[in-house]
Amino acid sequence: MAQGLVNPGEEVVLVEEVNHVRLLTLNRPRQLNVISWNMLSLLTKYLEMWEKDDHAELILFKGAGRAFSAGGDLKMFYDGRKIEDSCLEVAYRMYWLCYHQFIYKKTRVALVHGICMGGGASLMVPMQFSVVTDKTIFAMPEARIGFYTDCSFTYTLPRLHGYLGEYMALTGARLNGKELIATGLATHFVPSEKFLQLEKRLISLNSGDYDAVKSIIEEFSIDVQPDEDSFLHKQSIIDKCFCKDSVEEIIKSFETEGNMKGNEWIGPVLKGLKRSSPTGLKITLRSIREGRNQTLPECLKREFRVTVNILRGKISGDVYEGIRSLTIDKDNSPKWDPATLDKVTREKVDLVFQPFKEELELQIPANEECRWDGKYENTAYPSLKATA
């Protein structure tokens, strides 16, 4: 069958059908493929349609330009801030899509070249195959804009080794392709010069057979280890500091370690941590900690209610101030309110986590098998295995 473009009038998601293969391309390259309402609706539509289509066997995801996806469309949320519940349906659909990514029945491959952050990473991590390159950049920087780590990552990050999840969520640490393989957040590393060839081979395979897909990816992939200066080699320090019960204790412990000889790498990380929203940091830490003992559906239901309460400004308007500073005025000088950690009390944070009436909660099944469970245990990084 000749390659064809489905719905050519729609530009934000390009869809190619080649026999039994479906290729989804996020197509907002000038905006780093951030996920808009239109994009989210189309992704949901096609994935639901193909899951019921016996002719569709293999689904490939990729991003146009220099990004896979930089996350959610922040301007969309900012523009809707004064309209009551204007973005709540977007949040509901996004978390439903996150859930569906973990239990989807057909073989999927994420071809992640370039920037992959925030909600965009939820289109990578749960896949059976998530392929990264030497150009891949991953991060969860939400606390820096007054938000918190969400889109199923309060489930996945706590399941990394030690306290890497807390470290990544609170600091917004950037990971390259090698580090993604080491943590288990990606499955295969393919040099960027071979990426297009891999995509063509997968399309020509014309099958969703798991073993066949894996065999082709392994032909192109190489074994990698984190670079010598990677923060993954600082696991003992990270665990020592980020195991603490509060953000204040974490920062104090991290400062102590940063004053020791040989720990100069901590300084810039600590500076960024202190510039983040105090409210965002406290919500982030609590979310990650609760996620350690919750199922995927429990995490997503909690994320939905926390996100709704943040967008409604339940205890702070920091998320809108952060977006303003980063993407609207671009002054990079957010005025957080409250401005200090001690003003963000436990009682205030409790308000954000309060359950809704049952009919207002995120409605997802509670007993589906989650394919990602234990995925990180396949990491190729021996020292991480040893700290489990």
Report all structural domains of the chain as residue ranges with CATH numbers, in order of start: 4-364 (3.90.226.10)
What pLDDT digit, counting tens, does each position of 282-339 carry? 999 999 999 999 999 999 999 999 999 999 999 999 999 999 999 999 999 999 999 9
Kindly provide the residue ranges of all beta strands, DSSP E only, lying in 179-300, ordered along the sequence.
Answer: 188-189
Q: Which of 18, 89, 4 is nearest to 58 (CA)?
A: 18
Choose, from 63, 71, 72, 146, the residue flagged as catalytic. 72
Confidence check: pLDDT of 83 > 70:
no
Q: What sign does the CA torsion over 162, 168, 171, 174 have?
A: positive
What is the Cα–Cα distance from 303 to 96, expressed in whole angstroms?
11
Compute how many other C-beta atoms are within 10 angstroms of the C-beta atom of residue 92.
15
Backbone φ and ψ of 35, nearest 5°: -85, 110
Alpha carbon of 32 to those of 7, 71, 72, 288: distances in Å? 22, 9, 10, 27
Predicted local confidence at residue 301, as pLDDT: 96
pLDDT at 85: 61
Whole-number pLDDT of residue 374: 43
pTM exceeding 0.75: yes
Residues 17, 57, 73, 150: which is the catalytic one?
Answer: 150
Instruction: Answer yes or no: is pLDDT of 234 > 50.
Output: yes
> What pLDDT score was predicted for residue 372?
53
- Per-residue pLDDT tens digits for 182-192: 999 999 999 99
Task: Answer yes or no: 72 catalytic.
Answer: yes
Residue 385 reports pLDDT greater than 80: no
Residue 142 is among the residues annotated as catalytic for this protein: yes
Going from the C-alpha of 178 to that of each of 182, 256, 302, 381, the distances in angstroms are: 6, 29, 31, 10
Taking only the tens place, the pLDDT of each residue in 105-126 is 999 999 999 999 999 999 999 9
Q: What is the pLDDT of residues 34-46, one digit of tens each?
A: 999 999 999 999 9
Question: What angle do helix axes 278-291 and 247-258 make, rounded to 10 degrees?
Answer: 100
Is the CB of residue 366 less than 8 Å from the CB of residue 297?
yes
**Residue 202 identity (one-letter amino acid):** L
Catalytic residue, chosen from 63, 118, 119, 177, is: 119
325, 331 contact by CB (below 8 A): yes
Catalytic member of 17, 57, 73, 142 = 142
95-109 b/e (C-beta count within 10 Å ≥ 16 → b): bbbbbbbbbbeebbb
pLDDT digits (tens, 9 = 90+) for 204-213: 999 999 999 9
How confident is the model at residue 133, as a pLDDT? 98
Only one residue has tokens 């001690």, namely: 342
Q: What is the mean pLDDT of residues 256-272?
A: 97
Q: Given the DSSP bridges, would you call strands 107-112 and 137-139 parallel, antiparallel or unpaired?
A: unpaired
Dihedral over Cα of 256, 161, 244, 148: its sign = positive
Structure-token pair, residue 91:
């949040």
Classify residue 112 by its DSSP letter.
E
Residue 237 half-sphere exposure, CB side, CA atoms within 13 Å?
Answer: 19
- Cα–Cα dist 48/109, whole Å: 16
Rounded alpha-carbon distances, angstroms, from residue 250 to 243, 275, 346: 7, 15, 16
d(CA 250, CA 329): 31
Is 134 in the active site? no
> Residue 131 — left, alpha, or beta (φ > 0 → left; ψ -120 to 50 → alpha)?
beta
Joined together, the tokens standing for residue 124 give 């990578």
Quote the percentage of the chain above a pLDDT of 70.
91
